[in-house]
Structure 1
Amino acid sequence: MLVCVDIQNAFCSKEMFREINYRQKSCQIRRDWIMPRTGENIYKRKDGRWEGRYIKEKNGGKAKYGSVYARSYKEVKGKLEEAKKELDGKKSYSIPGKKMEDIGRNWLSEISVSLKESSANKYEDILRCYIFPEFGENELSEITNQHLMNFVNNLLVSGGVNKQGLASATVIEIMSVMNRIRIYAMRKSYPVAFSVECISLKREYKNIRVFSLEEEGRLLNYLQKHMELPELGILLCLFTGIRVGELCAIKWDDIDISEKKLSVRKTLQRLRTSKPEGCKTEVKLLEPKSSSSVRDIPLPDALMELLEKFYISGAFLLTGENSRFIEPRTMQNRFKKIIAACGIQDANFHTTRHTFATRCIELGFDVKSLSEILGHANVAITMNRYVHPSMELKRENMNRFSDLFTVK
């Protein structure tokens, strides 16, 4: 009998122990649910409400607090998070220096480290001539899509120094800068109200001038009869398609007589300077337009024979002197006088490049080789912008159908 009592007492004690343990765990769960975590600044007040506190501002190192109230911990925690988000939003709108001119200059200063000098100059000109006069004193949050559309329309109709209206390609570049400033501002948490997606512009390509075979023949005859170093340079462009800036930068050492090739490594360009006094621009010897513009061009035998006669080691090709060069603007003017003397319709120097590309296609060059000779990043640029089949070539290709069909 005594044994049974002991067993029953032991059984009851075990059941009681389980019940106590269960209740303790339940209490702990409830306590975890209603009690705030350390550092949250949430407390239960004596009146039964919950209070959440947050720092509204700091003045002289002292914090000024704000409070939110609710009947439960969960509710006050939600209110506290909303109050903090609202405060963060107000802080982002109070960042100093958010005018377009301030942000634009900061953006250009940040990216100039990785830009070529010519590109940095181009962006600075776009800011100074177009964007700052229109939006310089505005905050980015004040510039709306409607403002942007009006700006674009004005540029197309009456933009430019002579109010003649800007080409769509120029306006597209201006909008590209606006978009880059917008992205920069958003990254810095400045409020922005506009988006360039509201602007729809198509790049219009003008009819490209290409010398006809008859015009090119006249030009070649003139150059051979009046052969001097500048005329030799124009001849070189007609047979290689190099740019005028690249031609002006070429030295005779860039021509490998034994390998019969031309190495393009530099370009000559006139850029605006930041000097407060003296000339506003200066001519500089720079890296080529892009990495693909650095290239080696094979030279035809007939041209090599002519180049060997004029070869002067260490000198610039166009002057024959070590320190004196001819800048692109001067070469452009000389070229216009020459084609006028030949009785050829007006054209700029870049026509030699387009003419070279067109002749190469007519002769059956493979497009990949031509693209690399021209220094293009991809074949699409060569085909879309530099290849201009003549009517004679189109007719010749169309007549090939005669070999397939007989029309009676």
Structure 2
Amino acid sequence: VKQQPGNDLFEIDISYPKEKKREIRILTEEEQAKLVQYLLADLDHCKFGTLFALLTGLRIGEICALRWKDISLRKKTVRIDFTMQRLQLPDNPVENKTAVMIGDPKSAMSARVIPLTDFIVDFCKKMEIPSPQAFVLTGETERYMEPRTLQYRFAKYAKECGIADVHFHTLRHTFATRCVEVGFEMKSLSEILGHSTVKVTLDRYVHPSMELKRNNMDKLSQIGF
């Protein structure tokens, strides 16, 4: 507290504590294994799409808009050209009406091609594909599954697996973290996730697990710490 010269006013400097950074939830390796086992035990189109998102890091809108024509089993790639979201209709904002829209991805970098592992390719081959135009999540050409429905389904899956405090975006964070743990080159990971810069990947999606932190600390013992 200090008095301003020439008057009776006082200046008070108040320092507020910085808001604690909220730790991002990722699946542990045990939780991930439990979820994968659950999805594979009774695999349908929605569960396959959930598994596909976990193993590729797709955003929820991207997996909802994904059609089988976007997946090339020969090239072992998936092309991300669209995203799905529910938006408020501009014509009638008073009634707060919304509609599901399929449009361009989040940014220019979000339109991308992602290599697929043999593991996910093998399961792609096991799925019934009635038409290349069919949505991955439904197996139908006309009927889609919107993000909030998929979020509801995922919450049900997680509950049945005994996994708490997660949402669909947890899968994307988990994918990014696993990639870091196995030593992905950061530029490659950034492009796979569809980020505009590597900084976005580092700041938002890289969450070293306690196991990885412990392994890194254990390396100090090798040099006498």
Settle same-fold status: TM greater than 0.5: yes
Residues 296 and 204 (structure 1), Cα distance of their counterparts in 2 relative to 1, 3 Å cut: farther
Q: Pick the aligned partner of 1:380 from 199, 219, 225.
A: 199
Residues 386 and 218 (structure 1), Cα distance of their counterparts in 2 relative to 1, 3 Å cut: same
Residues 192-251 of structure 1 show CA distances to partners (whole Å, capped at 9, x for unaligned) of: xxxxxxxxxx88753211011111111111001021000001101111100000000000
Q: Pick the aligned partner of 2:86 from 232, 257, 270.
A: 270
- Whole-Å Cα distance in 1 between the matches of residues 98 and 21 of structure 2? 29
The question of whether the paired residues in 2 share the 8 Å contact of 1:336 and 1:346 is answered with: no
More RCO (CA 8 Å, sep 6+):
2
Q: Pick the aligned partner of 1:232 from 48, 71, 76.
A: 48
Give the deviation of 1:358 after TM superposition: 0.5
Matched, 1:283 2:73: no
Give the deviation of 1:401 after TM superposition: 2.2
Give the deviation of 1:403 after TM superposition: 2.4
Matched, 1:393 2:217: no
- Whole-Å Cα distance in 1 between the matches of residues 100 and 157 of structure 2? 24
Q: Pick the aligned partner of 1:346 from 165, 177, 181.
A: 165
Residues 203 and 326 (structure 1), Cα distance of their counterparts in 2 relative to 1, 3 Å cut: farther
The question of whether the paired residues in 2 share the 8 Å contact of 1:340 and 1:346 is answered with: no
Give the deviation of 1:390 after TM superposition: 1.3
Alignment match, 2:76: 260
Paired AA for residue 180 in structure 2? I
The question of whether the paired residues in 2 share the 8 Å contact of 1:357 and 1:387 is answered with: yes
Give the deviation of 1:309 after TM superposition: 1.8
Matched, 1:361 2:180: yes
Q: Pick the aligned partner of 2:127 from 299, 310, 321.
A: 310
The ranges of structure 1 where at least 4 consecutive aligned residues each deviate by more than 2 angstroms after the TM superposition are 202-206, 274-279, 401-405
Residues 398 and 279 (structure 1), Cα distance of their counterparts in 2 relative to 1, 3 Å cut: closer
Residues 230-285 of structure 1 show CA distances to partners (whole Å, capped at 9, x for unaligned) of: 00011011111000000000000000111000000000000000334987000000
Q: Secondary structure at the match of 1:373?
A: helix
Matched, 1:249 2:65: yes
Paired AA for residue 356 in structure 1? F
Give the deviation of 1:398 after TM superposition: 1.4
Residues 205 and 287 (structure 1), Cα distance of their counterparts in 2 relative to 1, 3 Å cut: farther
Paired AA for residue 320 in structure 1? G
TM-score for the superposition, normalised by structure 2: 0.87
Q: How many residue pairs get matched?
A: 205
TM-score for the superposition, normalised by structure 1: 0.48
Identify, as 1 or 2, the structure richer in helix: 1
Q: Pick the aligned partner of 1:330 from 144, 149, 154.
A: 149
Q: Secondary structure at the match of 2:86?
A: strand
- Whole-Å Cα distance in 2 between the matches of residues 227 and 390 of structure 1? 29
Q: Secondary structure at the match of 1:263?
A: strand
Residues 366 and 311 (structure 1), Cα distance of their counterparts in 2 relative to 1, 3 Å cut: farther
Residues 371-392 of structure 1 show CA distances to partners (whole Å, capped at 9, x for unaligned) of: 0000001111111111111111
Residues 352-404 of structure 1 show CA distances to partners (whole Å, capped at 9, x for unaligned) of: 00000000101111111110000001111111111111111111111112222
**Uncovered stretches (5+) of structure 2, i.e. residues with no partner:** 1-17
Q: Secondary structure at the match of 1:319?
A: coil
Q: Secondary structure at the match of 1:335?
A: helix
**Uncovered stretches (5+) of structure 1, i.e. residues with no partner:** 1-201
Larger Rg: 1
The share of aligned pairs that are identical, in percent, is: 48
Matched, 1:320 2:136: no
Give the deviation of 1:305 after TM superposition: 0.8
The question of whether the paired residues in 2 share the 8 Å contact of 1:230 and 1:318 is answered with: yes
Matches for 1:129-278 after TM superposition, within 5 Å: 205-276=21-92
**Alignment RMSD:** 1.7
